[in-house]
Amino acid sequence: MKQNFYALILKMALEYRLSLENLCIILGIEATQDNQEKIYNIFEALFNKNTDLKVLYDFLFMNETKNEEDETSLQALNAGYLFFSKYKIANKNRDNEMINELMTELDSLDSRIKSLKNRNNEYELTDNDYLDIFKYKVKYCLSRAELSNILNISSAELIKKELGVTDKKLKRKLNLLNKKQIDIVLSRTKAFNVDNILNASFNDYDNKLMEMCYKQK
């Protein structure tokens, strides 16, 4: 139960790009440095066997959300808070249909990328497709070579499109990731696979898992 609860929290953080401070706020915990470290240490204790997952949340918490602009942090906080509030209400009301809809929302980026993986040869990728692709790159800390292999897009085309990104927030995230890319690739296990990285820790969602949140408050 406890692991499932924090698995959901971590998955939410990865999807909405939440800082440890924002997680404290969403959970109704005072956002002190001590409490932020406690949340991080819980993730470390629960998911210590998943090295590839640790790469993702280390980049998120220790790089991407460090010293980010207030506007970016607030947008992430609002998105995460809205999701979590809806989930608590749905869980309290035992509304399985709404819970399933919310979990689908949490997996929406991955679902869009999955459909791009299965695109036919005539399909031309749009600017919005590339925005999703680069958000996916940040979420899973992918190198251009890994992204090229996953989506069957040439590295040259990815470089060209990435250089053309005009979204300042996304551009900052990509630049941070590119600076850390060598360390990240070296940290990955030989078994690294995007399709499997989350499945090991994020499964069997239980309608009662949110009770853990109520107990914390």
Within 8 A by CB and 6+ apart from 94, the residues are 207
Choice among 19-23, 33-37, 112-116, 194-198 with the minimum mean pLDDT: 194-198
Alpha carbon distance 179, 177 (integer Å): 5
Confidence of residue 211 (pLDDT cuts 50, 70, 90): very low
Q: In angstroms, what CA-CA distances link 189 with 6, 52, 55, 186?
A: 23, 7, 10, 8
User: pTM for the whole thing?
Assistant: 0.88
Share of the chain above pLDDT 70, in %: 89
pLDDT reported for residue 204: 38
Q: What is the DSSP letter of 120?
A: -
Alpha carbon distance 9, 100 (integer Å): 16
Which domain range does residue 115 map to?
2-216
pLDDT reported for residue 3: 58
Report the domain count for the chain: 1
Q: What is the mean pLDDT of residues 174-188?
A: 94
pLDDT reported for residue 2: 57
pLDDT at 216 over 90: no
Confidence of residue 7 (pLDDT cuts 50, 70, 90): confident
pLDDT reported for residue 194: 85
Give residue-wise pLDDT tens across range 184-207: 989 998 888 887 776 544 443 333
